[in-house]
Amino acid sequence: MTRSRHLPSGAGCPAALLGLGGLATFALLLEVLPRAGVLPADYFPPASRIALALLDEFGQPAFREALGDTLLTWVTSLAIAVGAGIAVGVAIGSTPLVRDLTASTIEFLRPIPSVALIPGLIVLLGTGMESTLVIAVYASFWQVLVQVLYGVADVDPVARETAHSYRLKARHRIRYVVWPTTLPYVMTGIRLAAAVALILTITGELVIGTPGLGKKIDVAYSSGDVPSMYALIAVTGLIGVLANVVTRRAERWALVWHPSVRGESPA
Amino acid sequence: MIRRFTAVLAGAAMLLSAAACGAKETPPSTPGTPDKVTAGVVAIVDVAPIYLGKQKGFFTEQNIDLTLQTAQGGAAVVPAVAAGTYQFGFSNSISVLVAHTNGVPIKAIASGNGTTGNATADFSGLVVKDPAITSPKALVGKKVATNTLKNIVDTSIKELVKRDGGDPAAVSLVELAFPDMVGALDTNKVDAIFVVEPFLSAAKAKGWKVIGSFAALDPAMCVALYVTSQALAQSNPDLVARFTTAMKKSLAYAESHPDEVRAILGSYTQIAENVRQGMTLPKWPADINRASLDKLADLIVANGLTSKKPDVAAVVS
Amino acid sequence: MTSALRRAAVFFALPITLLAIWWFASAGSTDFLMPPLAKILEVFPETWSRHRLTHDVAPSLIRLAVGFAGALLIGIGAGVVIGSSRVVRLFAEPVLEFLRAIPPPALVPIFILVAGIDNVMKVLVIISGCVWPIVLNTVEGVRGADPVLAETCRSYRIGEMLRLRMFVLRSASPQIVTGARQALSIGIILMVISEMKAASEGLGFTIREFQTGYQFPQMWSGVLLLGLIGVVLSLLFRVAENRVLVWYHGQRAAARVSR
């Protein structure tokens, strides 16, 4: 262990290159395992065949339409979940009594699997975007809310008391005391919520039949088109990778001052 | 403090109302303009006639503007039809009979699809890999895959075993989706599978043996039905009658034009071209086979799917 | 005494209010999908009989426990490794993000091929979803560790194992606990998803069976039971959390007292 903060190991190797290396290693593994017979190739085709099916999909307008549908549902659900999660979290978390009053209900509602809501949703809203949106918002909302609640609870008691002594207005207390401590938690919450919202968007499309990548996965699956199915699954994985890059950038930008980021910002 | 609390309540209310504010539009019946209706279907081979009929204009000529929405299973379609989210829907016969018996207000209006009449060349098949198993009776004590439990496939498997002289209770039925069955049998996760096309073709291509089918149970089994809600049947009998007319014409057309069926499958499924050409298609009788539904109703009670016997006459009347 | 009463009152106030609203709003409902709450509660005892509890609920909970424990081990282990080295983190992150974005229902067919259709497959499904919040939070916790303390450890040449146990895991533990809490509720969801395909018993399977059999009061009673299990597990988790993080809460309380 001769690591130094001033000369991070691997500094000469750009981050993106390392990440691509990781993905390439993973793809190689997926090529070798089916070919070596560890995974049955009939039902789990090697990566190269999945890649061919993927190229084929990219050429089709139906695929681009499905991709657009999925992205729209995902971004919309994430925006609603993050907005509502922060607002409700700060409101509940700032007052111990309200926090205590709602704790049991939150714990009750949170684990109710959004998949259990599906039959009701189809009846109420049909199989359009709204049903999938509700499921994605429902699941990702709790991710943000819980992180915000933890963040608000993590506010340094001394700082809180100080703000109290100086009789800061609620608005200012949130802005200058609660928010800086909560922000790292919020950013983690957004990153988690982005993934959860994506997973639930695809799952909703898969299980409900809302137009989008998930529905295409289901059609390929129920048609026995295995390579296309994995190609479409790979697309959802790639969206996940991109989402992480974007949320990481946002996190870095928002948390320049925090130790978790400070240690690594290039000088 | 109070203001903050109201904000919390408002947030929670917003979340809940998002789930509660379902808009259910009833189709407008303005003279002259076509009736806009939505039918809920499952993207499988069985519903090819409705896609074909829509393409051929059979619904337009009945002054119906038809939109098809796919759901993941018939079990999701039936409640949505009953609640009016879809005006019409497709589901398997046992689901329809069980739903009706449990108080879901629906009505069957047209036949969905039927068995081919040939026990060894049906669109469904009970398939085994082990050559030692030659008849359903030998499945006693074995693991057999069904797509869902307490539905048409497992009821058929049990009945096939029973008729062959075996004890259906001694068959270990496990749930497995149709697309996962061939792989599971190939890797010896189960001893037998009950599949439908296009997976039956894949199973046959492996050289495995078919020891039963829907058709073996009933040569003219009514496997699935098109349904509507009792409310719509009462409030707009004319629309329902016109839909039934278009549906019957679509079924008859599909029955007599298998090549066009195989072609249209390419539009809403991703079944490979060669599989589409080679697979066995179901029959599409234009009329509901009530005698077949009566037999299914008996099986439903015998297998304890419902406590009282489904009233077939009330479902199809 | 009064404080215990007060805590119970606070715990139950909102749920009871909401249940009362549900009770009165649904009373006399003839909608087949939304039966009156009275009806749901009436079928609850007969639906969740001793037989169902031992044959369906217990196996599900055992699979959840095994899956959650597995996710904790894998998640903390992977999180520490990834969080302590920049190179490993940059190398592994895209792959992890790729895998995480894949919806669990789409993974089920692969797990069936690899692990069959029994308990192992279902535990794998639970692990595959639970592990992410634990990994992510552990990584964040390890990265966010106080740099001054880290330097101190290094200056004093404190051994690797001791450093891991006394410093790295310690300072990351509040975040690890946050991750574990999220993993627990995701685990309950996955317990249900794992029984969506290839099941013949289990809580999730039974609820789905009621749904496809159009027994809606029974189905809703199952959803209620899931919620209750969520609350109980969360309470158990809080007890465990207070033990693990006793130093952290102590620090906070001390700071509060010494104002």
Contact criterion met (CB below 8 Å) for A125 and A134: yes
Residue B7 has pLDDT above 80, yes or no: no
Q: Say what the pLDDT of residue A22 is.
A: 85
Taking an 8 Å cut-off on Cβ atoms, the answer to whether A18 and C211 are in contact is: no
Contact residues on chain C for B148, CB-CB shorter than 8 A: 212
Considering the domain architecture, whether residues B226 and B312 belong to the same structural domain is answered as yes
Instruction: Provide CB contacts within 8 A for C40, sequence distance 6+.
Output: C217, C220, C221, C224
User: How far is residue B242's CA from residue C25's CA, in Å, rounded to a whole number?
Assistant: 39
Q: Using 50, 70 and 90 to split pLDDT, how confident is the model at B245?
A: very high
Taking an 8 Å cut-off on Cβ atoms, the answer to whether A91 and B69 are in contact is: no
**B184: nearest CA in chain A?**
A43
Contact residues on chain C for B175, CB-CB shorter than 8 A: 197-200, 205
Say yes or no: B102 contacts chain C, CB-CB below 8 A: yes
Domain span at residue B52 reads: 34-115+221-316
Give the nearest partner residue to C105 out of A123, A203, A263, using CB atoms.
A203
**Average pLDDT rounded to a whole number, residues C223-244:** 82
Say yes or no: C125 contacts chain B, CB-CB below 8 A: no
Helices marked H in chain B:
2-20, 48-56, 74-82, 93-101, 152-163, 178-186, 199-205, 214-217, 230-235, 237-256, 258-268, 273-278, 290-302, 312-316
Considering the domain architecture, whether residues B265 and B292 belong to the same structural domain is answered as yes
Contact residues on chain A for C196, CB-CB shorter than 8 A: 115
Taking an 8 Å cut-off on Cβ atoms, the answer to whether A240 and C211 are in contact is: no
Q: Say what the pLDDT of residue A179 is.
A: 75
Regarding an ipTM greater than 0.90, the answer is no
- Single out the residue of B229, B214, B2, B3 nearest to residue B107, CA to CA: B229
Considering the domain architecture, whether residues B143 and B84 belong to the same structural domain is answered as no
Q: Say what the pLDDT of residue C18 is.
A: 81
Contact residues on chain A for B182, CB-CB shorter than 8 A: 43
Contact residues on chain C for A115, CB-CB shorter than 8 A: 189, 192-193, 196
Taking an 8 Å cut-off on Cβ atoms, the answer to whether A124 and B22 are in contact is: yes
Q: Which of B19-28, B208-217, C87-96 has the lowest mean pLDDT?
A: B19-28
Q: Say what the pLDDT of residue A124 is.
A: 67
Say yes or no: C212 contacts chain B, CB-CB below 8 A: yes
Say yes or no: B11 contacts chain C, CB-CB below 8 A: no
Cβ-based interface (< 8 Å): residues of A facing B: 40, 42-43, 84, 87-88, 91-92, 94-95, 98, 102, 117-128, 134, 137-138, 141, 206-209, 215, 218-225, 228
Taking an 8 Å cut-off on Cβ atoms, the answer to whether B75 and C212 are in contact is: yes
**Average pLDDT rounded to a whole number, residues C203-210:** 84
Q: Say what the pLDDT of residue B15 is.
A: 40
Would you say residue B225 lies in a domain? yes
Q: Say what the pLDDT of residue A4 is.
A: 40
Q: Which of the pair, C152 or A216, is modelled with greater confidence? A: A216
User: CATH number of the domain that B168 lies in?
Assistant: 3.40.190.10
Q: Say what the pLDDT of residue A7 is.
A: 40
Is residue B188 packed enough to be buried (19+ CB in 10 Å), middle (13-18) or exposed (0-12)? exposed
Q: Say what the pLDDT of residue B133 is.
A: 86
Q: pLDDT digit string (tens) for C102-137? A: 888 778 888 887 787 788 889 998 998 889 889 988
Give the nearest partner residue to A126 out of B43, B85, B198, using CB atoms.
B85
Taking an 8 Å cut-off on Cβ atoms, the answer to whether B183 and A84 are in contact is: no
| Chain A (29-48) residues lying within 8 Å, Cβ to Cβ, of chain C | 39-40, 43-44
Q: Say what the pLDDT of residue B24 is.
A: 43
Q: Say what the pLDDT of residue A58 is.
A: 85
Q: pLDDT digit string (tens) for A187-228? A: 888 888 888 888 889 888 887 778 889 888 888 888 878 888
Give the nearest partner residue to A240 out of C97, C223, C228, using CB atoms.
C97
Q: Which of A110-114, A252-256, B133-137, B235-239 has the lowest mean pLDDT?
A: A110-114
Contact residues on chain A for B1, CB-CB shorter than 8 A: 95
Taking an 8 Å cut-off on Cβ atoms, the answer to whether A157 and C256 are in contact is: yes
| Integer CA distances (angstroms), C207 to A124, B176, B270, C114, in order | 20, 17, 31, 27
- Single out the residue of A87, A81, A95 nearest to residue A155, CA to CA: A95
pTM for this structure? 0.78
Q: Say what the pLDDT of residue A112 is.
A: 64
B146: helix, coil or strand? strand
**C218: nearest CA in chain B?**
B102
Q: Say what the pLDDT of residue A3 is.
A: 40
User: How far is residue B23's CA from residue A89's CA, in Å, rounded to a whole number?
Assistant: 30
Q: Using 50, 70 and 90 to split pLDDT, how confident is the model at C64?
A: very high
| Chain C (72-111) residues lying within 8 Å, Cβ to Cβ, of chain B | 108-109
Taking an 8 Å cut-off on Cβ atoms, the answer to whether A137 and B15 are in contact is: yes
Fold for the domain defined by A47-262: MetI-like fold (1.10.3720)
B182, B217, B252: which is the final residue of a domain? B217
B229: helix, coil or strand? strand
Average pLDDT, chain B: 83
Taking an 8 Å cut-off on Cβ atoms, the answer to whether B18 and A228 are in contact is: no
Residue A90 distance to chain B (closest CA, Å): 9
User: How far is residue C15's CA from residue C230's CA, in Å, rounded to a whole number?
Assistant: 14
B175, B191, B217: which is the final residue of a domain? B217
**Average pLDDT rounded to a whole number, residues C84-102:** 83
Considering the domain architecture, whether residues B282 and B295 belong to the same structural domain is answered as yes
The CATH superfamily of C59-213+220-244 is MetI-like (1.10.3720.10)
Q: Which of B152-156, B202-206, B228-232, C157-161 has the lowest mean pLDDT?
A: C157-161
**C256: nearest CA in chain A?**
A157
Taking an 8 Å cut-off on Cβ atoms, the answer to whether B151 and C33 are in contact is: no
Considering the domain architecture, whether residues B294 and B152 belong to the same structural domain is answered as no
Q: Say what the pLDDT of residue B23 is.
A: 37
Q: Using 50, 70 and 90 to split pLDDT, how confident is the model at C224?
A: confident
| Domain count of the fold of chain B | 2
Residue C51 distance to chain A (closest CA, Å): 23
Q: pLDDT digit string (tens) for B59-102? A: 999 888 998 888 776 677 888 888 888 899 999 898 899 888 88
Instruction: Provide CB contacts within 8 A for B203, sequence distance 6+.
Output: B125, B127, B181, B182, B185, B193, B195, B210
Contact residues on chain C for B177, CB-CB shorter than 8 A: 109, 197-198
Considering the domain architecture, whether residues B139 and B209 belong to the same structural domain is answered as yes
Residue B196 distance to chain A (closest CA, Å): 11
Q: Using 50, 70 and 90 to split pLDDT, how confident is the model at B177?
A: confident
Pair of tokens at residue B248: 């019957």
B198, B217, B236: which is the final residue of a domain? B217
Substitution target in A241, A246, A257, A261 with the highest count of C β-carbons within 10 Å is A241
Percent of chain C with pLDDT over 90: 8
Stretches where chain A sits below pLDDT 70 are 1-13, 107-108, 111-120, 122-124, 257-267
Residue B159 has pLDDT above 50, yes or no: yes
Say yes or no: C214 contacts chain B, CB-CB below 8 A: yes
- β-partners of residue B126 are B194, B212
Would you say residue B18 lies in a domain? no
Considering the domain architecture, whether residues B228 and B304 belong to the same structural domain is answered as yes
Instruction: Provide CB contacts within 8 A for B5, sequence distance 6+.
Output: A91, A95, A98
Residue C256 has pLDDT above 60, yes or no: no
Residue B24 distance to chain A (closest CA, Å): 7
Give the nearest partner residue to B82 out of C32, C108, C211, using CB atoms.
C32
**C217: nearest CA in chain B?**
B102
Helices marked H in chain C:
2-26, 37-47, 50-52, 58-84, 86-100, 104-115, 119-143, 147-155, 160-162, 169-193, 203-212, 216-244, 246-257
Give me the amino acid identity at A80: I
Work out the number of other CB atoms within 10 angstroms of the CB of residue B140: 16
Considering the domain architecture, whether residues B92 and B234 belong to the same structural domain is answered as yes
Give the nearest partner residue to A107 out of C97, C211, C231, using CB atoms.
C231
Residue B240 has pLDDT above 60, yes or no: yes
- Single out the residue of B193, B171, B206, B226 nearest to residue B49, CA to CA: B226
Taking an 8 Å cut-off on Cβ atoms, the answer to whether B19 and A224 are in contact is: no
Contact residues on chain B for C199, CB-CB shorter than 8 A: 174-175
Q: Say what the pLDDT of residue B305 is.
A: 84
**Average pLDDT rounded to a whole number, residues C177-194:** 84
Residue B294 has pLDDT above 70, yes or no: yes
Contact residues on chain C for A20, CB-CB shorter than 8 A: 94
Q: Which of A95-109, B64-78, B296-310, C143-157 has the lowest mean pLDDT?
A: C143-157
Say yes or no: C197 contacts chain B, CB-CB below 8 A: yes
Say how many CA atoms lie within 13 Å of A137 toward its Cβ.
Answer: 23
Q: Using 50, 70 and 90 to split pLDDT, how confident is the model at B208?
A: very high
